[in-house]
Amino acid sequence: EDEKDYKTVVHTFEPSKLAAILKTKFSADGKCRQGEAGLREDQARAFFDVYGPNVITPPEKQNKCIKLMRMMFCGIFNILLWMCVLAMVALLVFFQDSSKEGENDYVTPILLTVIIVATALLQWYTELLAEDAMEAM
C-alpha cells in the first residue's frame, strides 16, 4: 500500500516515511550536506534487475509506406474525394453515349486523382520532416 501511496500522494508523507519507502535517508533540512546520499550500488543494481534500465521506450513508428497510404486513402474528406473519382469513372465507363464519343470528360477524374495524391504526398513529406526534426532534438 505504501507503494501506491508513494505514486499518488508523496507530497503528504513525513520525510521519515518517504525515506523508508525509498530505502534511503534524508538530512533534517532535506539537503545532502554530509555523508552518503541516494541509492547504494547494490540498491541500484537490485532496482535495475527488478525494473530494467531507466529509459523511456519510444512508441513504435508506423511504416512510412503505410502512413502514406493512410493519408492518401483514409480520412472522411479523402474517402469522399475518391468516391467522386469512382463515380466519374463509372459514369464514363458504364453510361457513355456512343453517339457522343468526343464529349466524354476524362480530364476531371484524372485531375482530381492527381490532386488527391499530390496533397497526400505533400502532407506525408512535411510530417516526415517534422518527425526527423523532433528526433534530432
Sign of CA dihedral 84, 89, 92, 95: negative
**What is the pLDDT, as a whole number, of residue 126?**
93
Low-confidence winner among 1-5, 106-110, 131-135 (lowest mean pLDDT)? 1-5
CA-to-CA dists, residue 16 to 19, 21, 63, angstroms: 5, 9, 50
Mean pLDDT of the chain: 79
Looking at residue 105, its pLDDT comes to 74
The pLDDT value recorded for residue 101 is 62
Question: Residue 64: which of 132, 136, 137, 134 has the closest Cα?
Answer: 132
Whether pLDDT at 4 is above 80: no
Interatomic CA distance for residues 107 and 92, integer angstroms:
11
pLDDT, one tens digit per residue, over 41-58 is 888 888 889 888 877 777
The span from the CA of 28 to the CA of 35, in Å, is: 13
pLDDT at position 11 over 80: no
Distance CA 128, CA 134 (A): 10
